[in-house]
Structures are given as C-alpha cells and as structure tokens.
Amino acid sequence: MASTRLLCLFNKNVADSTKTLARASWSLSCRRNVSSSPSRLQSCMSGWIIDQYGTNGVLTYTEDIPVPTVSSPSDVMIKVYAASLNPLDISMRGGYGATLLKLKRQPMSVISSDNGSEFPLILGRDVSGVVVDCGSEVTHVAPGDEVWAAVPPWKQGSLAEFVTLTEYEVSHKPKSLTHAEAASIPYVANTALSALVNAGGLCRDSSSNKRVLITGGSGGVGTFSIQLLKAWGAHVTVTCSQNAEGLVRGLGADEVVDYTAADAPEQLEMMEKFDVVLDNVGGETEQLVLGLLKPWSGAKYVTLVTPLLLNIDSMGLLDGVCHAGSSLHSKAIQNLISGGVFYRWGFYAPDGPALDDVSRLMDAGKILPVVEAQFPFTQVPQAFLKLEQGHARGKTVVRVTEEDDREELVQNSCTEFEQERRKLAEQH
C-alpha cells in the first residue's frame, strides 16, 4: 500500500522489529480470538487495564473485564480489530485529566460524598472493528458492518476485545484500508477537524486561498492535518525535524522548516504571513508563531496544547476552570488588541459524521494513513514505550485481532447474535 511504501523510507527498523513481535505472538492471538465473539455465555473479555495511575508498570492484561454490552437504544457494540495510541494515553495512564474525566463519567460525584473509583480504566482512543450488536434506535450501522471511531476519553477505551459507543461517535471505516491502517486515523482526525473547522474557521470550500502553518507536522495530528488541508486546497507550511522533511513533503507540505536549525525563526519570519496556525507543540513555539499571522485580517492561532485539564487536576474543578479561563481570556484579548489575531484552544470532539467525510477522502486516496509502528495485542506495554520515546512519525497501532481471522470472526460474531435473537424471540 502507498502508506506502507511511504513509511518504509522512514522507519524500516521499527517496522521490521514489530513484524517479528507480531509473528512471535501470532499463535497466542489466534487461539484467544477464535472463540472471542460475545454471547450470553461470554460475560468477560480480555483487555489491558490500569488499576492505578503511574508509569508503564500499571498496565495489566486481564481476561476478566465485563463485556460492555448494549445498554441504551443508541449504543453500538464493536469487536475491536485494531486500536492506536495517542499522547493522551500516556498522559491518562499517569492521571492526567483524572478530575474532569471522572466527573464526566460520574456526574453525581460532584455533589455526593460517595467518591466511587474510576478504576479499572481501559485506555486506547481509536478503534477500527466490526459491529456485533446495536441498540433498538440505531439506523446508521448494523451488525457485520466494518466501522471506525474515536473513543471519547471519558469512556472505556479500545485496548480490549470489545468497546461500546453511541451511534453518533461511529462511522463506516474506509473500504480501502486495513483495520490497522484505519485505527491510526479517528482520534487525530476528530481533533484536527474540530481545531481547524470550529476554532480555525476553515472548511473544504474556503481553504483554497488560505496559508496555513502546522507546527509539529510529523506527528499524528500533523500528518493527518497536512493531507486534509491539501485536499481542501490550502497552502501548507510545516515545522518538523530535519529527518521528517521527506515524510511531510511526501504528504503534500508546500514548505518545510527544520525547527532545530539555528535560523528557523528567521526562515519563518521571512515567509509570507499565515491565515491560520495549528500549533501541535505549544510552549516557546507559541510566542514565535503568533507573530507569523497576518495582522488585522481575521487570522487565527489554534493550539492543541492547553493547560485546562492540568489546571483542573492541580487546583480542582472550579479554580482550575477559572484559572485556565482567565489565562485564555487574557491571551485572547492581548493578541486581538496588539495584532488583530484570534487566539484559540482546539480540542478533540467526538463526531462520527465528520469521520464519514474523512472516510470518503481516504477511499479517494486523498489522505493516506501514516502508520509508523504496529504491535500485537500481547505487546501493548511495548507500544506505550515506543510512543513515550517521542519523535513520532505518524501513529503507533495495536492489532487487537489479527486480520487473517477477520472473515471467520465477522461471520461468527454476527451468527451468534442472530442465533441469540432467535432464541430470545422464541422464548417470548
């Protein structure tokens, strides 16, 4: 596949070693998966959980996780074929966002003294898989459909055999991609779309005359955003390390600046000013790139690196929100007054219909998945270690179910559900 060819240039060694890991765990995966379609007899599933926050040692494999069955009319239960990791998984493993995410999971905990535990938690924010069951009001997908989705951080994640989401969060997977390739996209796509469209004011029909700067272009969000913006006709400039230049140019970047070069700020300052900056790096980069936006023309700076959850974790909900809000407000006012530039925060937002559009772009070959490394399900801690090393070039994927078993499994899962339905119908 084109994406595989692209990535061979950049990470042949990682790919080779992960292929070896994949082979080593092949027989184990096969044995486990052949009997893994859910039935009334199967109340538990396998997956990777954390029971406390910490470093990689808290990741635990277990086969005793209750299967997340359909409990509301809009629920869609998915058999997971592949998941991918995001920097958020590393942060959440360490407790990042715990206060707000717990509140979202258990809204009553804010007024109740019953401080129930959020553990065990399942990480993993992307899924590509097959629908095995649907609530009564689901119309868009059906058992047997191949789907993909970004799992919201307040829900149990995809590093498990099954995940249950709402219909709104789920979309049909691009037909041209394997599950492993598809799993590399949903979370970064939902994030990039939310940041570029909602905060950056861009869209397919209004981008052709826009100049966009993407910092951190070689990572998960960056590699997706470059391709999306090129598909929309924008002019795209990217900052990345020197050894990622070939990758981002291959994805369509018009201009590339090596941020490690001593004269990188000067190179950027000499360029024509930008309409939108998507900042995937934050920190010192923020001040530099804010000065690169066109003044007094509605230009927008959108950063994905925000202090909101950290503030809430360290100060509590009210103080944290107030502190983060006042920091956002003062930066927004300051940039508006001094340069007529809009300063905004971008956030991931669940959006299945947006993934439908992305799916079409991928099937049309306009966006390629950039999978840097793949790990089998038995090697989830190794996948976390890979991500923790930084310097991502696209995404790290976990194959939860080996795809050679796919057709057999799809058939097994759907047949079992059909049989159960018939049995239930006969009983009533």
Ligand X SMILES: NC(=O)c1ccc[n+]([C@@H]2O[C@H](COP(=O)([O-])OP(=O)(O)OC[C@H]3O[C@@H](n4cnc5c(N)ncnc54)[C@H](OP(=O)(O)O)[C@@H]3O)[C@@H](O)[C@H]2O)c1
What residue ranges bind ligand X (CB under 6 A)?
Answer: 86-88, 188, 191, 215-216, 218-222, 239-241, 259, 280-281, 285, 304-306, 346-348, 390-392
The nearest distance, CB 17 to ligand X, in angstroms, is 19
Toward ligand X, which CB reaches closer, 396 or 412?
Answer: 396
Toward ligand X, which CB reaches closer, 348 or 377?
Answer: 348
Three-class secondary structure assignment of the chain? CHHHHHHHHHHHHHHHHHHHHHHHCHHHHHHHHHCCCCCCCCCEEEEEEECCCCCHHHEEEEEEEECCCCCCCCEEEEEEEEEEECHHHHHHHCCCCHHHHHHHHCHHHHCCCCCCCCCCEECCCEEEEEEEEECCCCCCCCCCCEEEEECCCCCCCCCECEEEEEHHHEEECCCCCCHHHHCCCHHHHHHHHHHHHHHCCCCHHHCCCCEEEEECCCCHHHHHHHHHHHHCCCEEEEEECHHHHHHHHHCCCCEEEECCCCCHHHHHHHCCCECEEEECCCCHHHHHHHCCECCCCCCEEEECCCCHHHHHHHHCHHHHHHHHHHHHHHHHHHHHHHHCCEEEECCCCCCHHHHHHHHHHHHCCCCCCCEEEEEEHHHHHHHHHHHHCCCCCCEEEEECCCHHHHHHHHHHHHHHHHHHHHHHHHHC
CB 21 within 8 A of CB 375: yes
The nearest distance, CB 362 to ligand X, in angstroms, is 18
Toward ligand X, which CB reaches closer, 299 or 309?
Answer: 309
The nearest distance, CB 181 to ligand X, in angstroms, is 16
Four-residue CA torsion sign, 365, 371, 372, 373: negative
Toward ligand X, which CB reaches closer, 141 or 304?
Answer: 304
The nearest distance, CB 264 to ligand X, in angstroms, is 9
Phi, psi of 207 (to 5 degrees): -105, -10
Toward ligand X, which CB reaches closer, 3 or 86?
Answer: 86
Of 245, 150, 191, 184, residue with least CA distance to 369: 184
Toward ligand X, which CB reaches closer, 239 or 378?
Answer: 239
The nearest distance, CB 36 to ligand X, in angstroms, is 29
What tokens were used for 83?
């998941």
The nearest distance, CB 77 to ligand X, in angstroms, is 25
Toward ligand X, which CB reaches closer, 158 or 218?
Answer: 218
The nearest distance, CB 301 to ligand X, in angstroms, is 14
The nearest distance, CB 40 to ligand X, in angstroms, is 38
Toward ligand X, which CB reaches closer, 353 or 390?
Answer: 390
The nearest distance, CB 392 to ligand X, in angstroms, is 3
Toward ligand X, which CB reaches closer, 11 or 241?
Answer: 241
Toward ligand X, which CB reaches closer, 70 or 88?
Answer: 88
Closest residue to ligand X, judged by C-beta, is: 219
The nearest distance, CB 265 to ligand X, in angstroms, is 12
